[in-house]
Amino acid sequence: MDVSGQETDWRSPTFRQKLVSQIENAMRKAAKADTELQTFSHYFHKCVSLT
């Protein structure tokens, strides 16, 4: 595996932008999962309180 070049150089703008994009995607996925869990929890507690 060749690890030389601009693609793997952490100082390059290309590498940094790729890393920023990956972090933003991970944050979006985490926020979506958290929202889905909160929605489920809300409905679950509503149903439990009705019985």
The radius of gyration of the chain's CA atoms, rounded to the nearest angstrom, is 20
**In whole angstroms, what is the distance from residue 35 CA to residue 43 CA?**
12
- Can you give the pTM of this predicted structure? 0.55
Q: What's the whole-number mean pLDDT along residues 13-41?
A: 90
Q: What's the whole-number mean pLDDT along residues 13-37?
A: 90
Q: Which whole-number Å values give the CA distances from 25 to 12, 15, 34, in the listed order?
A: 20, 15, 14
Residue 14 near residue 6, CB atoms below 8 Å: yes
**In whole angstroms, what is the distance from residue 18 CA to residue 25 CA?**
11
Confidence at 1, pLDDT banded by 50, 70, 90: very low
